[in-house]
Homo-oligomer: A and B are copies of this chain.
Amino acid sequence: MKLNDKQIQILKVAEKLFSENGFDGTSVRNIAKAADINVAMISYYFGSKEKLLGALLLHRTSDFRLLAESVLAKNTSHLDRLDALVILVIKRIHSNRRIYKIIYSEFSNPSRNSDFENYKKQKLKNYKIIEDFVRSGQEAGVFTKNVEISLIYPTIFGTYFHFYYNKPFYAAIHNLSEDFSLDEFVHKVLTPHLQKTIKALLTYEI
């Protein structure tokens, strides 16, 4: 599906509003006003509000898989590659956080079951990659055996999003101003925490 500049502009605005106010909390008139276009343009270009969401997901969920594979194919130690993978995953989540927030909100919504098939397939492929990597590390004797591999991604994703959702709360804990640099916190605090957590998990005896 080819998108022109105007369509991309609409998607950008929709992404912002959906992630801030939810799908149901955002009206097509909100989007039209923020994008400075006529309401009818949304139906004209995308057909419906639901299809707009579908187009948005399709437009954003490009391939994480290739990046992960190239990181894990490097000729460094398992622990170094694990560190690099955690960095990659968090970078990915962080730059696409708005989209992921929408997916989180709408994925479990029974009335919006469709449009998520691509997302599911992609997620399964990504799981297989980390599963293979961890098993190779276990065979090499670097990682311990008794690890619930399927819960590694949830630990990374979940920690990021719980922090992100409760940002003002954690800003208060760290005595940061309300408009503290999210990028810096993610880079300097959250990423090392998760690198350490996952490494610890995979090397912890009993």
- Chain A residues within CB distance 8 Å of chain B: 20-25, 104-105, 107-111, 120, 123-124, 127, 146, 148, 150-151, 153-155, 157-163, 165-167, 169-170, 172-174, 189-190, 192-193, 196-197, 199-201, 203-204
Contacts and interface: CB of A to CB of B under 8 A. Distances in A.
Main secondary structure of the interface of A (DSSP, over half): helix
Copies of this chain, count: 2
B111 A21 contact: yes
A108 B169 contact: no
A170 B158 contact: no
Contacts of A162: 153-155, 157-158, 161
B155 A159 contact: yes
11 contacts: A20-B110, A22-B24, A127-B173, A148-B189, A148-B193, A151-B189, A153-B162, A154-B158, A154-B170, A158-B163, A196-B201
